Structure 1
């Protein structure tokens, strides 16, 4: 991969860093090293893709050996080990946080999510990784939000993912989440399919507008929770959200931004008009999510996709056990 980020100091990627923290949305730590982001985020999809590359054979072999020595579900143990091995390598590349995802199949199990979070942290302890460098990544279901409340109250930092609606964001803030990850591109995908639109201008893009609304709500009420826009489809979406706390960007789009010249204006203010405070008790949360067809469908789809990739990762490792 061409390291254009380092060769062009006046590029749009460098300008963007003046407004937002740049996060690498990949499990490939060599790609992360090329663009020098502040944070990195992983999930089973990214780790599954990276694990198939020859340069990571050593990590896969370590995970398989760990699985063979484990009691119980050896494939699950190997997959968990591989996730934390990738996390360990990435911690050595980025200066701040690495997000590690809880099994999506636990998205409706609060106690199970909390238990796996602590298993992941124990695995990082074993690998010599400071747990303060890790964000536990949890789906933004009601049960996931309850798990985040428990974990954050115990000093475990959480990243609430698969976020598609303002009520999910408000509930995550009320739960004390360190970070929330609204999914720009998947929101846009839904509206394109349902409105029969091929593309949106950045200022009319539903995914962009959703993140702007969430960011404005968080800032208006002074929550310490940081907003990390995720799941971008093109660079225009990214540039339209300059000023969001964090932006997690794929290597392909990082490369595009590194090759783009010109100024990048800030598009999101720190605070704006104060919106109405949202209720985030269980009944209000479930009603608001149910009334949002896009958020309901994309949350369910996202959980299914991450669960399927988790199962595919375990199957790949099981074949070597």
Structure 2
């Protein structure tokens, strides 16, 4: 029998949640998704040394304030990782807008346009890229405008149906509802252990998937942030799943039977909802898990972006010495 990874590929588009070039080449996902944390990890690998040296050399030639140059070099590194991943996958690569712009609609739009332009300079068209934005009200509004410009977006750090509803209304291309981080919150909050079937993260993604399919919403549902293969198996059949290389390897080593769990044809009636800003913010306020995990996720990505810039700053200072 084929491995569970191969069985999963037959019912779900498999995406790699990594910046590890070797793992992507070996596992051959359709798409790749990255974030500041993954770019930071890539920076520590030998394969990234040449890319870092090129970006620092480029940065030395730039004018302007020191911190602006540091930020520009960090951006170049993220684009360099993305450009390499584009060579390795047939589909799309997600590149994230800076986390410190999560509550800045105009700033997010400007940064997204810069990212698309930077890829264009390398001969990579926008149909190979997804712009990742945090699923804040401001991030969703930025995505709405970008989508109208033909720039497809991936709304990340999504923990609630309220966020999913707002993304659908904005006609975003893809959402990344998190699974593992939801489980983390509930285990800490309740002290309970959960099975794959009762896992609150799995339950959340299933509810979002059902809402979208029941209402004919085109936005792609891509489950993300998995803690174990059980969560992945419980969402088999979802539009897309973005999975770490470690968990992909575990699925590849398992030759057991994988059952398809999600199917659009099985969607149950779920009335269409419209949310204005006030209703969205109230629903988020009433969902402690979603509110806390969204804020925590933004802080975490912002911290890793800061760490990336610290590395760049030191490299630039060393090059100038």
TM range (shorter): over 0.9
Q: Give the match's secondary structure for 2:315.
A: coil
The match for 2:30 is 38
Residue correspondence of structure 1 range 207-226 to structure 2 within 5 A = 207-226=201-220
The match for 2:61 is 69
Q: Give the match's secondary structure for 1:100.
A: strand
One of 76, 81, 92 as aligned partner of 1:81: 76
Tell me whether 1:55 sits opposite 2:50 in the alignment.
no
Instruction: Give 4+ residue runs of structure 1 displaced > 6 Å after superposition.
Output: none
Deviation for aligned residue 1:19 = 1.1
CA contact (8 A) 2:169 2:274 kept: no
CA contact (8 A) 2:177 2:224 kept: yes
Q: Give the match's secondary structure for 2:91.
A: coil
Q: Give the match's secondary structure for 2:281.
A: helix
The match for 2:141 is 146
The match for 1:205 is 199
The match for 2:122 is 127
Deviation for aligned residue 1:277 = 2.2
**Number of matched pairs:** 312
The match for 1:266 is 260
The match for 1:256 is 250
Structure 2 unaligned spans of 5+: 317-321
Structure 1 unaligned spans of 5+: 1-8
CA contact (8 A) 1:66 1:81 kept: no
Tell me whether 1:92 sits opposite 2:87 in the alignment.
yes
CA contact (8 A) 1:167 1:278 kept: no
The match for 1:180 is 175
Residue correspondence of structure 1 range 162-311 to structure 2 within 5 A = 162-197=157-192, 199-271=193-265, 272-311=267-306
TM-score (norm 1): 0.96
Cα deviation, 1:183-209, whole Å, max 9, x if unaligned, reads: 000000000000002x31111100000
Q: Give the match's secondary structure for 2:298.
A: helix
**2-structure distance, mates of 1:52, 1:64:** 15
